[in-house]
Amino acid sequence: MSKDADHKLDNLTDLWMPAIGIVPPDKHITCGVCGDVMRERRDIFGPTGMIESMAGNGHRHDTFTCPNRGEVWHDQVRALHSQIRDTPSVLIADMLLQEVAEVLRTRTPTKEQFSRYRF
Ligand SMILES: [Zn+2]
Q: Could you tell me the residue range of the domain that residue 42 belongs to?
A: 7-65
Identify whether 114 is part of a domain.
no
Residues 39 and 54 in one domain: yes
- Quote the Cα angle for 41-67-58, to 5°: 35
pTM: 0.81
Tally of domains in the chain: 2
Cα 38 to ligand 1 centroid, rounded to whole Å: 7
Q: How many CA atoms lie within 13 A of 100 on its CB side?
A: 21
Residues 54 and 78 in one domain: no
Cα 82 to ligand 1 centroid, rounded to whole Å: 15
| pLDDT score recorded for residue 1 | 41
Cα 30 to ligand 1 centroid, rounded to whole Å: 8
DSSP state of 19: P
Residues 46 and 15 in one domain: yes
pLDDT band at 8 (very low <50, low <70, confident <90, very high): low
| pLDDT score recorded for residue 4 | 52
Q: How far is CA 6 from CA 27, 31, 36, 43, 117, in A?
A: 6, 11, 12, 19, 30
Residues 33 and 11 in one domain: yes
Can you tell me the distance from the alpha carbon of 55 to that of 86, in angstroms, rounded to the nearest whole number?
A: 33
Residues 13 and 55 in one domain: yes
pLDDT in tens, 21-67: 888 889 989 999 999 999 999 999 999 989 999 999 999 999 999 99
